[in-house]
Every structure is written in C-alpha cells, then in structure tokens.
Amino acid sequence: MNRVCIKINGQEYNMCASESKEHMLMIGNFVDEKMQEVIKSNPRLSTTMSAVLTSVNIANELFKKTEEIEAINKQIKGPLKDLESANDKLGSLQSELEEKRVKIEEFEKQISLLKTSLEEYMAREEELIQEKEDFSGQIMEKDQKIRDAEEIVTDFQNRLYQMQMKIVKMEKNA
C-alpha cells in the first residue's frame, strides 16, 4: 500500500491505496481543480456545498464518459463481430488452403509416378522398336535367301527339264 498526503481546497488529506503515489497525487490535483472551479463560479458556497457540487460534477463527468464508452463499445461491437467473422472465414480458408496443398502434393506424387512409368514405357517401346527393326532386317535377309533359293530351284528345274528333254530326244534317236 502506498501512502500520500494530498491537498484539496487547502485542506490536507492522507490517502492510502494500492495505486502509485503519482496516480494518487494526480487524482488529488484533479479533485482540487474541480473544487476550485466550483468555488470560483460561486464563492458564497460553504466548503461542504462546494464539495457536494464538485462530487456531483465529477459524477456527471463519470456518467458521461461511461455513456461515451458504452456508445463506443456498441460502435466497436459491429466491427469486432465483422473481424471475428473475418477471422473465422480466414481460418476456414486457411484450412481449405492446407487441404488443397495436401491434394496438390498427392497429385504431384502421382504425376511423378506417372512420369516415371511413362519413361519406362517409352524406353520399353524404343527397345521393342529396335527389336522390330532387327527382326525386319532378319526377315528381309531370309526373304532374300528364299528368293535366291527359289531362283536356284527354278534354275535346277529348268536344267532338269532340259535334261529330261535331251533324254527323251536321245531315246527317240536310239
């Protein structure tokens, strides 16, 4: 507890409070100034009457300030509700954004796996194309060998036919 001596209208008062000494002196000076205003406006008032009017004036100011604060609080409530609503919406949007980020990561993983699979399929396709080309080359070589063999067979058949004709002619002549 802090103790301080304050003067109001020339009279000293000992105050004891949990507030700081500076705060209590400021309150004492405030009350003294308000009382001096009342006395200046009507010097014939007794100290008691001046004190009561000062108290009424201070109470009036207190009520006015309280009403102002309530009015301000009412004015603030709308924007505060809007702010709370905006905060709720922001939280909802952040949750939604996080869900979308997770989905994007999943899609990126799937895309990566699909790219890998595609690369493997493309590599296998190239291998198969190369094998096809190799087989096509072998088939062409074998086709050529078959054509060569067919020519040889045809040539042998022609020679055989000619030989048979010569034999038939020789048998007719003999």
Question: Six-digit token pair at 118?
Answer: 């595609």
- C-alpha span between 18 and 141 (Å, rounded): 112
Please give the sequence-ordered ranges of beta strands (E in DSSP) within the chain, or none if there are none: 2-8, 11-17
Question: Six-digit token pair at 148?
Answer: 């060569």
CB atoms within 10 A of CB 35: 22
The single-letter DSSP state of residue 9 is T
Per-residue pLDDT of the chain (174 residues; tens, 9 = 90+): 899 999 999 999 999 999 999 999 999 999 999 999 999 999 999 999 999 999 999 999 999 999 999 998 888 888 878 888 899 999 999 999 999 999 999 999 999 999 999 999 999 999 999 999 999 999 999 999 999 999 999 999 999 999 999 999 988 887
CB atoms within 10 A of CB 54: 22
Q: What is the pLDDT of residue 81?
A: 83
Q: What is the pLDDT of residue 77?
A: 84
Q: What is the pLDDT of residue 172?
A: 87
Q: What is the pLDDT of residue 119?
A: 96
Q: Delineate the domains of the chain, giving CATH numbers in brackets.
A: 1-44 (3.30.160)
